Amino acid sequence: MWVCIGIGLLFLLFINFSVDIESPVLLSIGRFHPLILHFPIVLLGLLFLVELIRLYGNVYIDFRILFYGFIFALLSIVIAIKTGFLLFSSGAYSGMLMDLHYKYALITGALSFISFGLFLKYVISSKYYSIYVLSLLAANGSLIYAGHQGASITHGKDYLTAYLPMITTRSDNKGNEDSISYFYKDVIQPTLEFKCGGCHNPTRAKGGLSVTNYSDMFKEGESGNTGMAKNDTLKSEIYRRIMLPDTAKEHMPPAGKTNMTRDEIALLKFWIQSGLYENLRTDHITYAPLKDRISQMRPALNKYKLNLKKEKYSLAQIHHNLLFLAKELEVEIKKDEKDENNLYTLSNTFPPAPFDSRKLKELKPYLDRFSKVSLVSSQIDDADLYWIAQMDNVKELYLQKTKIKGFGMLYLSRLPYLEILNVSFTDVDDKTLIDLIQFPELKEIYLYGTKTTKDVIQAVEKHKPGLKVYSEEGPYF
What ranges do the domains of the chain cover? Answer: 2-155, 171-312, 330-470
CATH number for the region 330-470 comes to 3.80.10.10
- Residue 405: per-residue pLDDT: 92
Helical (H) or strand (E) element with 42: helix 38-56
Say which residues have a Cβ less than 8 Å from residue 405's Cβ, sequence separation at least 6.
381, 382, 426, 427, 428
**Residue 3 is which amino acid?**
V
- Residue 171: per-residue pLDDT: 45
Q: Is the pLDDT of residue 68 over 90?
A: no
- Residue 229: per-residue pLDDT: 92
Rounded CA-CA distance 84/81 in Å is 5
- Residue 174: per-residue pLDDT: 47
Residue 206 binned pLDDT confidence (cut-offs 50, 70, 90): confident
Rounded CA-CA distance 364/388 in Å is 10
Residue 51 binned pLDDT confidence (cut-offs 50, 70, 90): confident
Distance (Å) of CA 265 to CA 226, 245, 284, 321, 389? 18, 14, 20, 39, 43
Q: Is the pLDDT of residue 345 over 90?
A: yes
Mean predicted lDDT score pLDDT of the chain: 82
- Residue 331: per-residue pLDDT: 93
Apex CA 159: angle with CA 411 and CA 329, to 5°?
50
Q: Is the pLDDT of residue 410 over 80?
A: yes
Residue 284 binned pLDDT confidence (cut-offs 50, 70, 90): confident
- Write out pLDDT tens, residues 296-321: 888 888 888 877 777 777 777 888 88
- Write out pLDDT tens, residues 375-390: 999 999 999 998 899 8
Rounded CA-CA distance 109/142 in Å is 9
- Write out pLDDT tens, residues 80-91: 888 877 776 655
- Write out pLDDT tens, residues 109-127: 889 899 988 988 888 888 8
Q: Higher-confidence residue: 255 or 208?
A: 208
- Write out pLDDT tens, residues 16-27: 555 555 566 665
- Mean pLDDT throughout 243-255? 85
- Residue 344: per-residue pLDDT: 93
SS3 422: strand
- Residue 399: per-residue pLDDT: 94
- Residue 175: per-residue pLDDT: 44
Instruction: Give me the half-sphere count of Cα atoms (radius 13 Å) on the Cβ side of residue 416.
Output: 8
- Residue 437: per-residue pLDDT: 81
E strand map for 201-359: 331-335, 344-348
- Residue 246: per-residue pLDDT: 85
- Residue 35: per-residue pLDDT: 63
Helix axis angle for 38-56 and 96-124, nearest 10°, is 40
Q: Is the pLDDT of residue 293 over 80?
A: yes
Q: Is the pLDDT of residue 286 over 90?
A: no
Q: Higher-confidence residue: 154 or 139?
A: 139
- Mean pLDDT throughout 366-370? 89
